[in-house]
Amino acid sequence: MKFLILYNPMSGRSNFHRYLPKVKKIFDNSPHTVEFYQSKAPKDLLRAAKEFASSYDVFLAAGGDGTINEVVNGMMASKVKPILGVLPSGTANDIAAILGINRSIKRSLNIFFNEDPIKLDVNQLNEQYFIYTTASGMLSKISYDVSRRRVRKYGYIAYVIEAMQDISKDYRYPIKICYNGKEENYEAVMVLGLNSNRVGGVRLINFSSSKLNDGLFELRLFLRAKTFWRFRLLQSFMRGGKRIGDDVHLVASKFEIKTDPDVRWNVDGEYSTNGNVVIQTYKEAIDVFASKRIKEKYFIKVPK
């Protein structure tokens, strides 16, 4: 097969380029071919993925979740979609972890060379596609508010420090949400959407029993209460995403949300848009490589 590795030289601690000779050597000893494309500017990988989609069998996105998001948006803009593989070199690397891909180049390439790909859902918030998460309100700005310099210097701890500062702020915003023929109104401090069990480097094993190819998306609305709302939110994360008290958990393939125009939304950890949004899930939209364990545990088995 013909592989294209699309990588972001600024992702994480900016060290993926060190592994290029090792990657090339492994490919030289395989029946596959590989070429490399380095991002030259923000959104450059989106353009490249769209342009080169019909020329390769596999795209390997090397970087963090933002890098993968760019590649996926380029793929979704193309009629022809290569298989997607992930080489993690960011900070949290949630998407890689969700697919069972670790930082070992050799082990990752072994999966790409030997495992059959599997179909994965892709989600959309307004005009932007994303793989696994969207959020607004408390803690949702951390992943893109922290400077690259601080991430390179402190790594994941830079996000932890920012999170502790953000928790002290007073969040409160209205949510009018339409889904499955229902319309409901809430006052929220945070909205967290997932189709997996991980976000921000934290495993949320009690968030839900969702699958990665069921065509559904899940939203948790952390509600504003008179007292102890910060404690309730933190307790939920400490208990693996367990729903606590009056917080609301919704499941659907499409959500229409109206809120204040200054409410910011992220997708896959990157800023996306403000205000009203439509979230939609496209069932089994792309083919991806995942570990055997992940395919057995988090994907619906397709009858042979």
Task: Check which CATH number belongs to the domain holding 183 and give it.
Answer: 2.60.200.40
**Domain range enclosing 31:** 2-117+289-298
Residue 275 falls inside a structural domain: yes
Tell whether 233 and 187 lie within a shared domain.
Answer: yes
| Together in a domain, 97 and 176 | no
Does residue 123 sit within a domain? no
> pLDDT category, 149, cuts 50, 70, 90?
low
Higher pLDDT residue, 208 or 178? 178
Mean pLDDT, the chain, whole residue set: 89
Are residue 83 and residue 133 in the same domain, yes or no? no
Q: Is residue 304 part of a domain?
A: no
The pLDDT of residue 294 is 95
| 171/272 same-domain check | yes
CA–CA separation, 303 vs 29, rounded Å? Answer: 35
Same-domain check for residues 136 and 77: no
Residue 250: inside a domain: yes
What φ, ψ does residue 49 adopt, rounded to 5°? -65, -40
Note whether residue 122 is domain-resident.
no
CB 302 within 8 A of CB 149: no
Q: What is the pLDDT of residue 169?
A: 75
Are residues 153 and 246 both part of a single domain?
A: yes
Using DSSP's 3-state secondary structure scheme, residue 232 falls into: helix
Shared-domain flag, residues 258 and 137: yes
Q: How many domains does the chain have?
A: 2
**Lowest-confidence segment of 33-42, 111-120, 130-139, 229-238 by average pLDDT:** 229-238
Instruction: Count CB neighbours of 104 within 10 A.
Output: 10
In 180-247, DSSP assigns E strands to: 182-194, 198-199, 202-203, 217-223
> Do 158 and 81 share a structural domain?
no
Does pTM top 0.85 for this prediction? yes
- Indicate whether 71 belongs to any domain: yes
Assess whether 36 and 137 both reside in one domain. Answer: no
Helices (H), 131-228: 142-145, 148-154, 157-167
Question: Is there a single domain that holds both residue 147 and residue 43?
Answer: no
Token pair belonging to 115:
């495992």
Same domain, 25 and 113: yes
**Domain of residue 93, CATH code:** 3.40.50.10330
Residue 196: inside a domain? yes
149 in a structural domain: yes
In tens, the pLDDT along 39-91 reads 999 899 999 999 999 999 999 999 889 999 999 999 999 999 999 999 998 77
pLDDT band at 140 (very low <50, low <70, confident <90, very high): confident
Residues 182 and 238 in one domain: yes
